[in-house]
Amino acid sequence: MKQTILVVVDIRELVSIFLKKSGYDVIEAADGEKAKEGITCETG
Protein backbone atom coordinates (compact mmCIF):
# COMPACT_ATOMS: atom_id res chain seq x y z
CA MET A 1 0.00 0.00 0.00
CA LYS A 2 1.41 3.38 -1.04
CA GLN A 3 1.60 5.90 1.80
CA THR A 4 1.15 9.66 1.59
CA ILE A 5 3.01 12.23 3.66
CA LEU A 6 1.71 15.78 4.16
CA VAL A 7 4.53 18.19 5.04
CA VAL A 8 3.48 21.42 6.75
CA VAL A 9 5.35 24.51 5.57
CA ASP A 10 6.77 25.30 9.04
CA ILE A 11 8.70 22.01 9.18
CA ARG A 12 9.37 21.59 5.45
CA GLU A 13 13.11 22.27 5.69
CA LEU A 14 13.65 19.83 8.56
CA VAL A 15 11.66 17.08 6.86
CA SER A 16 13.45 17.70 3.56
CA ILE A 17 16.85 17.30 5.22
CA PHE A 18 15.76 14.05 6.86
CA LEU A 19 14.31 12.66 3.61
CA LYS A 20 17.40 13.64 1.57
CA LYS A 21 19.67 11.91 4.10
CA SER A 22 17.41 8.86 3.76
CA GLY A 23 18.05 8.77 0.00
CA TYR A 24 14.91 10.47 -1.31
CA ASP A 25 14.82 13.09 -4.05
CA VAL A 26 12.87 15.99 -2.54
CA ILE A 27 10.90 18.71 -4.30
CA GLU A 28 9.88 21.53 -1.96
CA ALA A 29 6.94 23.86 -2.43
CA ALA A 30 5.59 26.65 -0.25
CA ASP A 31 1.96 26.08 -1.24
CA GLY A 32 -0.35 23.96 -3.37
CA GLU A 33 0.04 26.02 -6.54
CA LYS A 34 3.83 25.90 -6.34
CA ALA A 35 3.61 22.15 -5.67
CA LYS A 36 1.62 21.65 -8.87
CA GLU A 37 4.15 23.74 -10.82
CA GLY A 38 7.05 21.72 -9.37
CA ILE A 39 5.48 18.40 -10.26
CA THR A 40 4.71 19.62 -13.77
CA CYS A 41 8.34 20.75 -14.25
CA GLU A 42 9.70 17.46 -12.92
CA THR A 43 7.47 15.25 -15.07
CA GLY A 44 7.83 17.37 -18.21
Half-sphere exposure of 9 (CA within 13 A, CB side): 6
What pLDDT score was predicted for residue 43? 59
1-44 per-position pLDDT tens digit: 899 887 766 788 888 999 999 999 988 888 888 888 877 776 55
What pLDDT score was predicted for residue 18? 93
What pLDDT score was predicted for residue 44? 57
Phi first, then psi, for residue 22 (nearest 5°) are -90, 5
